[in-house]
Each structure stands twice: as C-alpha cells, then as structure tokens.
Amino acid sequence: MMMDYVAEILQGTPLAVSRVITWLENEDERARVLMKEIYSHTGNAYILGITGSPGTGKSTLTDGVTWQLRNKGQTVGIVAVDPSSPFTGGALLGDRIRMTRHSEDSGVFMRSMATRGYLGGLAQFTRGAVKVLDASGKNYVIIETVGVGQDEVDVMRVADTTCVVLVPGLGDVIQSMKAGIMEIADIYVINKCDRPGADQLFAEVRYRVDQDASIKDRTWVPPVVRTVAVEGKGEDDLIEAIDAHRTYLEQSGKLLEKRRERTREETLQMIHHELFRIIRARLAENSRIEHMVAAIMDHSMSPYNVVEEVVSEWLPSL
C-alpha cells in the first residue's frame, strides 16, 4: 500500500501528493516511511521563494509567476506558508479564493500550510512538502511566505532564488531591509508600482542594494524589478531576473554549494527534531515533566539542573 503511494507521488497524482503533505503536517509515521522512498527522486526541481509583508500582493505575484512558467511549459508546485495562531494551529486560508486560473491545470499543484507548534517546525514541514512536490516531478516549486520574521528567514533558506516583495506606502522598508532581508533577497520586487511613492521606493532599495553589494563585494547584485501584479505588468521581467539568477548560481558553482549547505542544515535539524520528539514523549510518561515543573516552581530544583539531568541520562558523554 505504501509502495502505491510512492508510485503515485512519482507520477504526480495530486491526491497522493496532498495526502502525504498532510501526513507531514501531522507528523504521521507514514510520512517518514514514504520520504525515505522518494528521497532519491528529489533534487530536480528549482526552488523559488516569494516573501513579503501582508498586503504586498505576494499571492498575486506567485500566481503571475506560475502563469509565466506554465507558458514556458514548466510544471509548478506551490507551498503557501501562512501564519496562524500558535495556540490553535489553524490555517487562515480557508476564506481565500485564489489560483482560480490554475485550478483546472494538472501542471500546477497548490497547497497551503499553517504554522504549527513553536520549535522551528515551520521550516521542517516546508522542506518536506517541497521534497514531495520535487519528487512528484514539478519543475519549479514556489514557497510563498508572509513576513520577514525568523521563521520566514528559515523557510526562505530552503529556496534557490528568493524574491522579496515590497510595496510603496507600507513605510517599513528601512526596518525590513535591516531585519535580515538583505541577507536573503536575491531579487527585489517593487509591486503595486503604479502607486504613489513607487519611484522613491525603487531608488531607495536600489541605493541600499548597491551599497550592500559594494561593502560585501558580492558577485550577484540583486536586481530590483517593478511589477503591477494585478495587471500582470512586469511578470516577464521578474521571470527574466529569476532565470538570470539561476544561470548565475549554476555557472558559478554556487547552486551546488548552496544545496550542500542546505542539506547540512536540514540533516542537523532533522536529527534535532527527531531526538527532541522522542525525549518529549519519554518525559510525558509517568507525568515526569509535571513532577519536574512542580520541583522548579517550589524552587527545589532549577530548570538548569533538570536539563542536565535529562541530558546526562539520555545523552551521556560518549
């Protein structure tokens, strides 16, 4: 039965892809088994990241990029990572009508994922979903995320090319550009550039990019692309910039380097995730964690002692 799923994923059957991503989200044991089987079929898709604050029109841009890629005969998988309450774990996309023009197109698969838990799990799930789409034969996988927090930066590390979307009038450009954006942006997109302030924003971003490039002696200077996504304007320029970045990465050997670094990070994170999962489960047995909390609350133990005790019990020095 599991082998049927493997075959169906490799054939790109949407229902199977969808189900396996759900397993990933639920940390279902079957996901683990399946991921091992399909792993050797990954590494072929090119991974795009599209990130920006709420209201920048990321979804419309993702839609436009997808459209352009489809016109070039490429298949596309989309993972939209949405923020949601860490308390309820619920997604917010239920009410969102989008991707309508692709809904009948078997060359496009779209899936939205909610933020879950609070232990760096977001990037973990995203990586899994990207791999499933990659193995399913999609030529491009687009990761779309809201915002520029630490989680989003982690998610973007999964992408080969990251597009950061800005719009005039949100007023937090300098803040955002300080907050780690310049490290992850391969391409800047000024969307809604029919709005007042677009030229100024363009000049500002251009100036900062040039400054940053000269300081860091970068070999790739991120282009700044202007779009009006709702009218489809600038989509072709964006695709051109993406192609140029891809060519740059491939020819300079940096794509391989980037993917090696990513694999290293992914592996460390997976080991960490799995060890913690097991230890958390063990601590739940016999209410051991509750006893620890009680001891910490009445100051008979410090959490630092508890950590030492747990670590030395389960991971004694080799």
Interface with its own copies in residues 178-207 (CB under 8 A)? 178-180, 182-183
User: According to CB under 8 A, which residues from 51 to 70 bind its own copies?
Assistant: 53-55
> What's the DSSP call for residue 143?
E
Q: Least separation, in Å, of the C-beta of 64 and its own copies?
A: 21
Distance in Å, CB of 98 to its own copies, minimum? 16
CB of 298 to its own copies, least distance (A): 10
Burial class (CB in 10 A: 0-12, 13-18, 19+), 59: buried
Q: Which stretch binds its own copies (CB under 8 A): 19-27, 34-42, 67-75, 236-244?
A: 34-42
* 253 lines the binding site for its own copies (CB under 8 A): no
Shorter beta-carbon distance to its own copies: residue 243 or 257: 257
- Binding flag, residue 137, its own copies (CB under 8 A): no
Minimum separation from the CB atom of position 97 to its own copies (A): 16
If you count them, how many residues does the chain have? 318
- Measured from the Cβ of residue 289, the count of other Cβ atoms closer than 10 Å reads 15
- Using CB under 8 A, which residues numbered 2 to 31 contact its own copies? none
| Size of interface with its own copies, in residues (CB under 8 A) | 77
Of the candidate residues 88, 100, 219, 286, the single one contacting its own copies (CB under 8 A): 88
Give whichever of 103 and 275 is closer to its own copies, judged by the CB atom. Answer: 275
Contact between 86 and its own copies by CB under 8 A: the answer reads yes
Give me the DSSP letters along 94-126: GG----GGGTT-TTEEEEEEE--SSSSHHHHHH
96 touches its own copies (CB under 8 A) = no
Interface pick for its own copies out of 87, 94, 217, 286 (rule CB under 8 A): 87
Q: Which is nearer to its own copies, 203 or 284 (CB)?
A: 284
Residue 175 binds to its own copies (criterion: CB under 8 A): yes
Segment 278 to 307, residues that bind its own copies, using CB under 8 A: 278-280, 282-283, 289-290, 292-293, 296-297, 299, 302-307
Q: Which of 83, 107, 197, 232 binds its own copies (CB under 8 A)?
A: 83
**The two structure tokens encoding residue 265:** 């990070």
User: How far is it, in rounded angstroms, from Cα 282 to Cα 167?
Assistant: 48
Nearer to its own copies, 32 or 72 (CB): 32
- Choose, by CB under 8 A, the member of 68, 115, 126, 227 that binds its own copies: 115
C-beta of residue 296 within 8 angstroms of C-beta of residue 302: yes
Alpha-carbon distances, residue 228 vs 50, 192, 211 (angstroms): 15, 5, 26
Beta bridge partners of 49: 143, 162
Alpha carbon of 124 to those of 119, 155, 252: distances in Å?
10, 8, 28
Compute the least distance from the CB of residue 231 to its own copies, in Å: 21
Among 14, 107, 120, 232, binds its own copies (CB under 8 A): 120
The C-alpha atoms of residue 249 and residue 245 are separated, in whole angstroms, by 6
Backbone angles phi, psi at 283, to 5 degrees: -70, -25
d(CA 124, CA 274): 11
Copy the structure tokens of residue 55: 């209201």
Secondary structure (DSSP) of 212-224: HHHHHT-SS---E
Q: Segment 255-274, which members bind its own copies (CB under 8 A)?
A: 259-260, 263-264, 266-272, 274
